[in-house]
Structure 1
């Protein structure tokens, strides 16, 4: 089991350097940040861009896998975004992973443009990932779709990771699961929204079954390298409220076949608020046990 943390892009440079370095020093396997223009509920506070946040993370770490959970088509075009990703993959020396999803139908990322959601999020998402896949693999890419186009798009020098950096594709429904099965090196889910923890785990299990079916449809059900990532941010119980609670999340995720679990970095107040001492306990007691118990 590989374990990671999501760090919101809200911290000053000085604070962010310390946090990202700590994620690596604690022994977590990966660190992620949200890819939003702003996050409902935190719009009145600081919020920085995803690409500079991950650039800083890359420069203050040397081992940590870094990435987005998740980038979306809501405010990105594949041609411009591919250049950012190629640059980040180079700066991080091949430690970048793209978490990518279809994007929400509402919220600040959609509302700020005043245009509303597209007619088909799934079709737009499929085009977005297909074009990104080509741009990160090939040079001289031309593409014409319903939502995106490119004319002789250049990609020199390409990704440091070959043939391209890995995609972890967010999916809960069958349409997005098909995109994940076709293009992803892994899949990530938040399960869904539920008031009770047992109901949330039920949603996680259902999403996992849909992903398994999609992989079978695309002939990838036996792919041993395909990652299954559980992001615990949406759980009705904060996974990092205690070390024992987090250990239980890891156990339940392992039973459902997940290879990775991602939890939120603790905040002083508001969403994901928890004492930093919980991370101390998780690093000291929980992570070593999972690495030596045959579950990693």
Structure 2
């Protein structure tokens, strides 16, 4: 098992930097931040941009992988995004994980326009991923689709990670799951939202089985965001319980959130540090098993 932690982009950098450095010191394998203009969970709180936050985190750390959780087409064009990705990959010396998803929440309409149907969102996401893949692997891309266009899209010098940065892709439905296994280096899920932990975890089981059907036995990295129904760091026992369940399903990676002082993800840094010292070392990473 590999372990990740999400640090919300809500802190001034003088307060955020120690968290990113401490995540590395504690032995986490990867650290993430959200990619939203506004997040529904903290609409009235401070919020900072994803790309500059991850760039600063890359300069404040040296070994931990850094990820976007998750970039969507809601307010990004693949060509402009490519430049951000190339910079993040370079500044981090090949430590960037590009989390991608079809998009939802307030970001869907905050800049105007109509909300898309679920089918349209998948259509747009498919086009977004296909074009982004081409831009990150090819210079001078001509593309014209329903949602995006590039005319001789220049993308030199290319990625540090070859053939490009890895995509870790959120997906639930059959088309998105097929897209994730075709273009992704891994799959990430938050499950289906529920206030009841057992109900939520049942959705994780169902989604994992859907992925198994698509993979047909191929090994594939699987990332589970742990905190959708209850905060995994509410106690050491709660964390170890959900990690054990994830491991039984074949998840290779789990992601929790840095404890906040109040509200969503409220918890204790003492629990986080105990988990890092006592629980994480008991879960050595093993390559993903066939589904």
TM bracket (short chain):
over 0.9
- CA distance in structure 2 between the partners assigned to 1:214 and 1:75 by the alignment: 29
Q: Hey, what does 1:116 align to over in structure 2? A: 114
- CA distance in structure 1 between the partners assigned to 2:287 and 2:96 by the alignment: 24
Question: What does the per-residue CA deviation read over 1:11-65, in whole Å, with 9 as the maximum and x for residues that have no partner?
Answer: 1111111000000000000000000001124222210000001001101111100
2:243 is equivalent to residue 245 of structure 1: no
Give the 3-state SS of the residue equivalent to 1:233 in structure 2: coil
Q: Hey, what does 1:37 align to over in structure 2? A: 37
- CA distance in structure 2 between the partners assigned to 1:110 and 1:121 by the alignment: 10
Q: Hey, what does 1:272 align to over in structure 2? A: 265
- CA distance in structure 2 between the partners assigned to 1:245 and 1:295 by the alignment: 25
- Count of residues paired in the alignment: 286
Give the 3-state SS of the residue equivalent to 2:134 in structure 1: helix
2:280 is equivalent to residue 287 of structure 1: yes
Give the 3-state SS of the residue equivalent to 1:66 in structure 2: strand
Give the 3-state SS of the residue equivalent to 1:58 in structure 2: helix
Q: Hey, what does 1:262 align to over in structure 2? A: 255
- CA distance in structure 1 between the partners assigned to 2:151 and 2:112 by the alignment: 27
Structure 1 residue 143: deviation in Å? 0.8
- CA distance in structure 1 between the partners assigned to 2:172 and 2:226 by the alignment: 14
**Segments ≥4 residues shifted beyond 4 Å:** none
Q: Hey, what does 1:175 align to over in structure 2? A: 175
Q: Hey, what does 1:26 align to over in structure 2? A: 26
Q: Hey, what does 1:77 align to over in structure 2? A: 77
Q: Hey, what does 1:228 align to over in structure 2? A: 222
What TM-score, normalized to structure 2?
0.95
Give the 3-state SS of the residue equivalent to 2:70 in structure 1: strand
Structure 1 residue 117: deviation in Å? 1.9
Q: Hey, what does 1:17 align to over in structure 2? A: 17
